[in-house]
Chain A
């Protein structure tokens, strides 16, 4: 029987950091991911806000200790059920393999909102409508495009929207768009950029300053209004309809490229496991026992949760949360 001190489900930033921390406490950890490589959603981004640091560099740092003797990594492994039996946790994968541990940490994270669901924005219909994730490939140089003359960013795609069942704010898209507009301007200095927003929530350290730089140094235009729909033009561009709510005027903008700032939903894995154990919120994210005092614990003894499987977080918040979870798990193991 494979027995570990802890099984961590999800080898994204949260899982990696928690594994690293627990390994340093000399705990035996099994780190599992359904993907073929570690890093989770970090792999989708080229550079990180607000300092444009490299995501791959961060991933290299995070994965340094993965080969540590205390950490066993299992990729391509899809956990479909979690059970508790006599104070031991069991995780079973889709091939019928079962793994055993004293504790379990859910680090199954988030999924990017599927932009096809906002049909009125034409993602998958018009080739010049892309998501913020698609844009990263352009910014990294993996995909090349002709210089666009006008680019529009649309905030809150799949967030703050009852129509798709997501009332929450994904909170990272605001600053992510600011980062991406600057990167796009550096790549294409002559491109005009318009960013449609409802509120710009610059909650983090130096976010507001970056927003200001995007206006002051890069000339990015911010328009306060939610886009109602996108339609094609005869010359293969697209037209956006919105209201400039600060002027009380409806407007139409023709653009060569539209970037949909897709939000963060509880991942499929998070929803499945949360449902199974009855520890999720109505929005699908896993609920911690108390967000002030015991934010890594769940109502089930020995089951812990970290990172964006709980709620939307930035990468630094995820790092801190993962360390916190690992400390709590280590303390729990010490009491046994």
Chain B
């Protein structure tokens, strides 16, 4: 199957695609309510229109662009659409196809998939947390301020003062997630295709890293984590 048919086939095979977009009249109410559209060069109505028109070249450009990665998946658009569409869910589908075909490595925002897979994705299967203080490295999170470094150093004495049970096997914030639960999470990722998606993202990201003559685990990871063209906002 040629690439163009493959894109359409992949969209068509995703049940969410038909749920997300059936008939758009380009009223723009989704863009009007969209928080991302206020800041980014992002227009959910225009995306719906491109997909609805069915021009595969334009859809392919979309899959390779920064555009589909601006959506915050808040689904505000769903609450407003007078035709019952959900542009935010269309974005979900476009992202999945972009991941599966490796097109995400063609854009700056898309390449960040590798960082989020390596950090948030791996955290879930390793620790049972998307975000956990042990993993939020101060040098990668300057927005946390200098206090973050201090907090991490003194976490064992500070955490209980907030009622947290850091690394302990009892109920409360920052508790250790028990091994049985971790096993369950891993099985969920295995049977639901989560692990396969991780592998796909890693495979295409490694290819891209080698194009840049970088090692994926560190240099490329830091590149995608920090690159900012400054061209994203309006």
Chain A residues with CB under 8 Å of chain B are: 120, 156, 160-163, 198, 224-229, 241-245, 248, 250
B33 on interface, CB distance cutoff 8 Å: yes
B72-94 CB mask vs A (1 if < 8 Å, else 0) is 00000000111110000000000
By the criterion CB–CB under 8 Å, are B82 and A160 in contact?
yes
Task: Give Cα A191–Cα B79 distance, bound, in whole angstroms.
Answer: 33
A159, closest chain B residue (CB): B82
Least Cβ–Cβ distance between B27 and chain A, in angstroms: 4
Least Cβ–Cβ distance between B87 and chain A, in angstroms: 12
By the criterion CB–CB under 8 Å, are A229 and B27 in contact?
no
Contacts A162-B84, A228-B32, A245-B45 supplied; 9 other A-B pairs, CB < 8 Å: A161-B82, A225-B27, A227-B32, A228-B33, A242-B32, A243-B31, A243-B32, A243-B45, A250-B43
Task: Give Cα A228–Cα B35 distance, bound, in whole angstroms.
Answer: 12
- Kindly list chain A residues whose C-beta atoms are within 8 Å of the C-beta of B84: 162-163
User: Which of B29, B43, B82 contacts A248, CB < 8 Å?
Assistant: B43
User: Which of B27, B31, B81, B82 contacts A250, CB < 8 Å?
Assistant: B31
- Tell me the B15-68 residues at the A interface (CB within 8 Å): 25-34, 37-38, 43, 45-46
User: Which of B26, B80, B83 contacts A228, CB < 8 Å?
Assistant: B80
Interface residues on B, range: 20 to 34
By the criterion CB–CB under 8 Å, are B32 and A226 in contact?
yes
By the criterion CB–CB under 8 Å, are A241 and B83 in contact?
no
- Kindly list chain A residues whose C-beta atoms are within 8 Å of the C-beta of B80: 120, 163, 228
The 3 closest A-B pairs by CB, nearest first: A243-B28, A228-B32, A226-B27
Task: Give Cα A226–Cα B46 distance, bound, in whole angstroms.
Answer: 14
- Kindly list chain B residues whose C-beta atoms are within 8 Å of the C-beta of A229: 32-33
Least Cβ–Cβ distance between B63 and chain A, in angstroms: 19
- Kindly list chain A residues whose C-beta atoms are within 8 Å of the C-beta of B81: 162-163
- Kindly list chain B residues whose C-beta atoms are within 8 Å of the C-beta of A163: 80-82, 84
Knowing A248-B43, A250-B37, the reply to whether A225 touches B82 (Cβ < 8 A) is no
B80, closest chain A residue (CB): A228
Task: Give Cα A228–Cα B44 distance, bound, in whole angstroms.
Answer: 14
User: Which of B26, B33, B82, B83 contacts A245, CB < 8 Å?
Assistant: B26
Least Cβ–Cβ distance between A26 and chain B, in angstroms: 49
- Kindly list chain B residues whose C-beta atoms are within 8 Å of the C-beta of A225: 27-29, 31-32
Task: Give Cα A280–Cα B30 distance, bound, in whole angstroms.
Answer: 33
A-B contact pairs, 28 of them (CB 8 A): A120-B80, A160-B25, A160-B82, A161-B82, A162-B82, A162-B83, A163-B81, A163-B84, A224-B28, A225-B27, A225-B28, A225-B29, A225-B31, A226-B27, A226-B29, A226-B32, A228-B29, A228-B32, A241-B32, A241-B33, A243-B29, A243-B43, A245-B26, A248-B31, A248-B46, A250-B32, A250-B34, A250-B43
- Kindly list chain B residues whose C-beta atoms are within 8 Å of the C-beta of A227: 29, 32
By the criterion CB–CB under 8 Å, are B37 and A198 in contact?
no
B25, closest chain A residue (CB): A198
Task: Give Cα A173–Cα B117 distance, bound, in whole angstroms.
Answer: 51
- Kindly list chain B residues whose C-beta atoms are within 8 Å of the C-beta of A242: 28-29, 32
By the criterion CB–CB under 8 Å, are B37 and A243 in contact?
yes
Knowing A162-B82, A250-B37, the reply to whether A198 touches B27 (Cβ < 8 A) is yes
Task: Give Cα A228–Cα B77 distance, bound, in whole angstroms.
Answer: 9
Task: Give Cα A227–Cα B31 distance, bound, in whole angstroms.
Answer: 10
- Kindly list chain A residues whose C-beta atoms are within 8 Å of the C-beta of B30: 228
Task: Give Cα A245–Cα B46 distance, bound, in whole angstroms.
Answer: 8
Least Cβ–Cβ distance between B94 and chain A, in angstroms: 18
Least Cβ–Cβ distance between A158 and chain B, in angstroms: 11
Task: Give Cα A241–Cα B28 distance, bound, in whole angstroms.
Answer: 10
Task: Give Cα A160–Cα B28 distance, bound, in whole angstroms.
Answer: 14
By the criterion CB–CB under 8 Å, are A245 and B27 in contact?
yes
Least Cβ–Cβ distance between B191 and chain A, in angstroms: 36
- Kindly list chain A residues whose C-beta atoms are within 8 Å of the C-beta of B46: 248
Task: Give Cα A162–Cα B81 distance, bound, in whole angstroms.
Answer: 8
A198, closest chain B residue (CB): B27
